Amino acid sequence: MSLSVETETFPADDMEHLAQSTMRPIPRISIQAFCETSGINDVIERASKDRRLSKAHLGLKTGSIADATEFYRSASTPNLLILETHDDPQELMDELSSLAEVCDPSTKVVIIGHYNDVALYRELIRSGVSEYLVAPINLADVIGTISDIFVDPTAKPLGRSIAFIGAKGGVGSSMLAHNVSWAMSESLENEVVVADLDLPFGTANIDFDQDPPQGIAEAVFSPNRIDEVYLDRLLAQCSTHLSLLAAPSSLERPYDFDPEAFSPIVETAQRTAPTVILDIPHGWTSWISTTLARADEIVITAAPDLANLRNAKNLMDALKKLRPNDPAPRLILNQTGIPKKPEISASDFEGALGVKPMAVIPFDPQTFGKAANAGRMIGQISPKHPISQTINQVAFALAGRREVQRKKPKLAQIFSRLTSKK
């Protein structure tokens, strides 16, 4: 009985197309589909169970483009949005115009329509839609389209690398890198890979309560083996959308690296996840400067004192020479407001560095200590804490995503719930 069900679930033509294909596995992306018909829904559901999408997170909903637009008024859009529609060409363009108002710029959109119209296809591509498929479709169509969008070797890397570094040791750069990573993965449901590059003293494994047998050391000391499959075996799964490339945190060997030592790891990670967070130790070696120079974005964490101001200024100046065509690094002021300790104000930092801090985080050893000792993030132990809210804002800003406002239930809905319980 089970064999006949398998045959019905995966039609012969689908299996033949997939068997003959050379499609590579889909990276860690979030996919959401809105389907109007059971036929399309069934095909996409089968795709979600295919081994090529084993790393991706695919969700299915019944609804139209209008339903998707309404849904994403109070939720972040995924990496890929698949929408089925019966709208005629003009109605479709109007619906997409409304969707664009709530859709994050980085989200790719695939339309499955019921009009075989070349002019419509060209208009959709011009408007930014990644692909237009004409129903009916099969399993190979779905997986092939996703592969073309996210696994195209000529396309730019899927993931953005964001490097965190402290202006001075002990300012909380690693803590912020880990908490921002978790916030991105949870609030945005964005696939995030955290790479702890502090091999002798890294704390990511402690902060995420992980003890993986392998990690970044195996990758950096075996550069010829690095590819997506090998890197995937080294990752520790911290949560549904968050993976960790842990440091050994051991002094059994010295860690002296060539300038390009970490480049293959970062480049490979960027092919597998939309966001790669680099937790870089405080220092200035050839490999640190090279890794920072190659990062898509840099966040400098500083405490509000003179030494941090000087070091942050030196970092800013050095990185400007290394990255003349890139924006200045972001700045976070941490551990502010320590009682009886004189400090340099955020405005003075801005005046000296020419960069306004993207966040100012107060000194709160009880909250940070409680989270660290529990191996959890601040957003897990105290989601409504002001620091947790600030970290969420940093996560949205670094991801380039809009911060959605969760809808409050209407009075009529509340009344309906109350009366239904009676």
**Whether pLDDT at 154 is above 90:** no
Parallel, antiparallel, or unpaired for β 275-279 and 160-166?
parallel
When pLDDT is averaged across residues 249-261 and rounded to a whole number, the result is 91
Kindly give the residue spans of alpha helices, DSSP state H, lying in 72-154.
89-100, 118-126, 139-150
Tell me, what's the pLDDT at 5?
30
- 3-class state of residue 99 by DSSP: helix
- Taking residue 367's Cβ as centre, other Cβ atoms within 10 Å add up to 17
> Among all chains, which residue has been given the structure tokens 């002094």?
251
CATH topology for the 160-399 domain: Rossmann fold (3.40.50)
Tell me, what's the pLDDT at 325?
82
**Whether pLDDT at 13 is above 70:** no
Which range has highest mean pLDDT (98-102, 228-232, 268-272, 310-314)? 310-314
- Split at pLDDT 50, 70, 90, the class of 153 is low
- Phi/psi for 80 (5° steps) reads -135, 135
Amino acid, single-letter form, for residue 246: A
Q: Give the whole-angstrom CA distance, residue 369 versus residue 381.
A: 11
Q: What percent of the chain has pLDDT over 90?
A: 68
Tell me, what's the pLDDT at 23?
55
**Whether pLDDT at 119 is above 60:** yes
- 8: burial class by Cβ within 10 Å (0-12, 13-18, 19+)? exposed
Comparing 410 with 228, the larger pLDDT belongs to 228
User: Where does CATH 3.40.50.300 sit in the chain?
Assistant: 160-399
Q: Give the whole-angstrom CA distance, residue 271 versus residue 277.
A: 13
User: Where does CATH 3.40.50.2300 sit in the chain?
Assistant: 25-150
Sheet containing 80-84, strands listed edge to edge, beginning at the edge strand earlier in sequence: 57-62, 30-35, 80-84, 108-113, 131-134
Question: What does pLDDT average to over the chain?
Answer: 87
- 3-class state of residue 368 by DSSP: helix
**Whether pLDDT at 278 is above 90:** yes
> Among all chains, which residue has been given the structure tokens 């899927």?
158
Q: What is the pLDDT of residues 61-80, one digit of tens each?
A: 999 999 999 999 888 899 99
- Split at pLDDT 50, 70, 90, the class of 189 is confident
- Taking residue 265's Cβ as centre, other Cβ atoms within 10 Å add up to 22
Q: Which CATH number fits domain 25-150: 3.40.50.2300, 3.80.30.20, 2.40.50.100, 3.40.50.150?
A: 3.40.50.2300
